[in-house]
């Protein structure tokens, strides 16, 4: 697998924690030589620490660029992609992972602000990132592997649950966008990969209940949640397949999750 990752430039959104952070480590471990990682999120200090930790673990063969970026801000996205340093400009892999959950309440009680930030981050942010990076991949649409776009959806995009309507709607939109994009790009060498995890224990698990740990733990009754590393392994596996293989649409959840 490492041969197929060699030399790639990989851009990850939401890399400051959870699945995004683990994905950065997993790419670096799978190809510790000649790989470039662009790690983005709002918490720049966490990104810098992750960059240091990756280099410490795998060595200087991997170059890491931490960048503060709020995906809900379209201007920031365009400015960031347009001004990437020369050695990071040729993005090969975009992992659209940044996401949040706000407004866990029944539909009549959802605050407008929570609704707006959920869609601005999970949906518009992901689409804006894709629009910004796609021209780079399309220009390179010859030879092997013009690019990979990995969109992190959720099982919540496939089925609704009580109190989760806004999050579920946002992830259903991600799924629909991913499916349409894959079809639009079918004649190109760009692969579009959708990964929908079930329960994964990350910061998200508690943040979604506004820090109520007991409520967060109750969700996992009888289930051992996935780790962020489990999801990272699937992302890196998908990217590492030979060019003709697209892991198009993956639903993964812990055993025993209903």
Interface contacts to ligand NDP, rule CB under 6 A: 13-20, 41-43, 69-72, 97-100, 121, 152, 154, 197, 199-200, 202-205, 207, 228
Q: Residue 86's CB: how many other CB atoms inside 10 A? A: 6
Backbone angles phi, psi at 94, to 5 degrees: -115, 120
Long-range contacts of 207-210 (CB under 8 A, 24+ apart): 207/100, 207/101, 208/101, 208/102, 208/104, 208/167, 209/104
Q: Which amino acids are annotated catalytic?
A: 167, 171
Nearest-approach distance from CB 171 to ligand NDP, in angstroms = 7
Nearest-approach distance from CB 56 to ligand NDP, in angstroms = 20
CA-based radius of gyration for the chain: 18
Nearest-approach distance from CB 241 to ligand NDP, in angstroms = 21
Residue with tokens 């960048």: 67
Nearest-approach distance from CB 242 to ligand NDP, in angstroms = 27
Q: Which of 228, 231, 230, 219 is nearest to 256 (CA)?
A: 219
Nearest-approach distance from CB 142 to ligand NDP, in angstroms = 32
- Which one, 42 or 140, has the nearer CB to ligand NDP? 42
- Which one, 17 or 146, has the nearer CB to ligand NDP? 17
Tell me the C-alpha to C-alpha distance, in Å, between residue 255 and each of 204, 220, 222. Answer: 20, 12, 10
Nearest-approach distance from CB 244 to ligand NDP, in angstroms = 28
- Which one, 130 or 146, has the nearer CB to ligand NDP? 130
- Which one, 20 or 103, has the nearer CB to ligand NDP? 20
- Which one, 19 or 134, has the nearer CB to ligand NDP? 19
CA distance 78 to 90: 15
The overall longest dimension of the chain from CA atoms, in Å, is 52
Are 174 and 130 contacting, i.e. CB atoms less than 8 angstroms apart? no
| 3-state class percentages of the chain: helix first, strand second, coil last, to nearest 5 | 50, 15, 35
- Which one, 216 or 248, has the nearer CB to ligand NDP? 216
């Amino acid at each position: 697998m490492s041969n197929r990752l060699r030399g790639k430039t990989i851009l990850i959104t939401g890399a400051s924690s959870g699945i995004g952070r683990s994905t950065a480590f997993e790419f670096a471990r799978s190809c510790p030589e000649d790989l470039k990682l662009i790690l983005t999120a709002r918490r720049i200090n966490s990104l810098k620490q992750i960059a240091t930790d990756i280099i410490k673990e795998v060595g200087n063969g991997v170059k890491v660029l931490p960048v503060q970026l709020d995906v809900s801000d379209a201007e920031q996205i365009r400015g960031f992609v347009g001004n990437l340093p020369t050695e990071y400009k040729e993005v090969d892999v975009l992992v659209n992972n940044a996401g949040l959950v706000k407004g866990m309440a029944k539909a009549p009680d959802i605050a407008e602000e929570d609704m707006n930030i959920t869609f601005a981050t999970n949906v518009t942010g992901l689409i804006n990132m894709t629009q910004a990076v796609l021209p780079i991949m399309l220009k390179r649409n010859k030879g092997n592997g013009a690019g990979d776009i990995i969109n992190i959806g959720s099982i919540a995009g496939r089925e609704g649950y009580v109190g989760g309507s806004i999050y579920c709607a946002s992830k259903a939109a991600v799924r629909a966008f991913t499916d349409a994009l894959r079809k639009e790009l079918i004649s190109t060498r760009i692969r579009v990969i959708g990964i929908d995890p079930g329960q994964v224990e990350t910061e998200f698990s508690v943040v979604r209940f506004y820090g109520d740990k007991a409520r967060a733990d109750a969700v996992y009754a009888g289930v051992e949640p996935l780790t962020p590393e489990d999801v990272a392994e699937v992302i890196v596996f998908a990217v590492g397949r030979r060019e003709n293989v697209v892991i198009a649409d993956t639903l993964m959840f812990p055993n025993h999750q209903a």
